[in-house]
Amino acid sequence: MARQDGILAALWGLGLAAGFTLQRSRFCFASAFRDLFLFGSGRLMKAILLGLAVATVGFAAIMRAAVPLAGLDLLPPQAHVLPVGASTILGGLLFGYGMVLSGGCVSGSLYRAAEGYVASWVSLAGVVIGLGVIAQTWNWWWTSLIATEPKLWLPALFGLGYAGALAVTFAALGAAFLVLTWWEARSGVVAPAAIAGAPAISFRQRIARAWHAVFVRGWPAAVGGAVLGGILVVMYTIHMPWGVTGELTRWANAAMTLAGATPPEPLGLNDIGGCAALAEETGLFGHTFSVTVGVLPGALFGALLAKEFKLRFPRNAVRYAQSLGGGLLMGLGAGLAIGCTIGAFFSAIPSLAISGWLFAAALAGGSYLGVQTIRRIP
């Protein structure tokens, strides 16, 4: 029991650190995808690539320790290797469209909720409703679609092994970096020059400047990406990669149970890692609770230190509808893909799963469609 308590305390610390990092670096997966199409900026997507590179090295080491011989039809425990197929594409399209419509993905809405963005609270409510709809209809999706979809894990494919899978993943990350740079050059986007502050001379000034850089001024996105990648590795070392929709699914299920509409026992989920809501993980202070709800105080702490907390109410009532509708679509998408931009993408690519790449492509497609829509909403 003492060991369990220690793990839980560590996961709480990591949840807080993740929330703090998201808030400080204003890390936004929705912007990363959307800004590619909105104004040809790859700044945030490059930060995500850096985070993926950091996490991939760590995940490979953890998975190799658990399953030394890849290719024996055995997946490492907890790895986010998810089914690859129509559910991945449909889930990614819905999620990508929803996050652009609402202005933030699930993790983005979580840390913005803690910064006082009221619209993000509405988005999260939409996400929980969407996840509830999938929970009620899961067995239909499973039998007609997901049950036949393979869980493709790179080290077990074509005799790649860990070294081959790492090489393939890094080649793909490098190629993505080159494509993003070409995309930026083509669109002519200009990075803003860094604003130079007053020179720091004395010890006191230097300390004040360091404090300011960490706790007041926002971090560069690339720093946020690298730190989040590191947090992911430590989370997996302790127990599991990062995911947030599993916990929100549990909330949806608990609410429906209270209302007398308990969702049916889901088929197939016991063999799937990631953000599948597992029965044994119930309880308010479970592992997924700590790394999901922990984001809130972590982000609030960051916002308070930087004096960035403020209750912000959208003045345009249409924004509430966008948040709820976008949240609902994200819930449906994350339910089908068994994870959001964190669980099915940011934790999946480092798990050396094909599903992470396919989900990312579908997110890009959904974001492209979302951009066409928000351009028409004043």
The residues binding another protein (CB under 8 A) are 26, 28, 30-31, 34-35, 38-39, 41, 43, 103-104, 112, 117, 119, 188-192, 195, 218, 221, 306-310, 312-316, 319, 374-375
Nearer to another protein (CB atom), residue 35 or residue 247: 35
Nearer to another protein (CB atom), residue 170 or residue 215: 215
State the Cα–Cα distance between residues 218 and 26, nearest whole angstrom: 7
Q: What are the structure tokens assigned to 316, written together?
A: 């345009």
Min CB(192)–another protein separation in Å? 4
Min CB(31)–another protein separation in Å? 6
Nearer to another protein (CB atom), residue 1 or residue 198: 198
Phi, psi values for residue 261, rounded to 5°: -125, 55
State the Cα–Cα distance between residues 63 and 155, nearest whole angstrom: 10
Nearer to another protein (CB atom), residue 87 or residue 109: 109
Place of tokens 């936004």: 28
Min CB(305)–another protein separation in Å? 11
Answer whether 255's CB lies under 8 Å from 132's CB.
yes
Q: Where are the beta strands (DSSP E) in 246-347?
A: none
Nearest to 89 by CA among 273, 336, 329: 336
Nearer to another protein (CB atom), residue 26 or residue 239: 26
Min CB(171)–another protein separation in Å? 29
CB under 8 Å to 270, separation ≥6 — which residues? 276, 278
Nearest to 29 by CA among 374, 347, 354, 350: 347
Answer whether 367's CB lies under 8 Å from 36's CB.
yes
Min CB(32)–another protein separation in Å? 11
SS3 content of the chain, % helix, strand, coil (to 5): 70, 0, 30
Min CB(26)–another protein separation in Å? 5
Nearer to another protein (CB atom), residue 149 or residue 308: 308
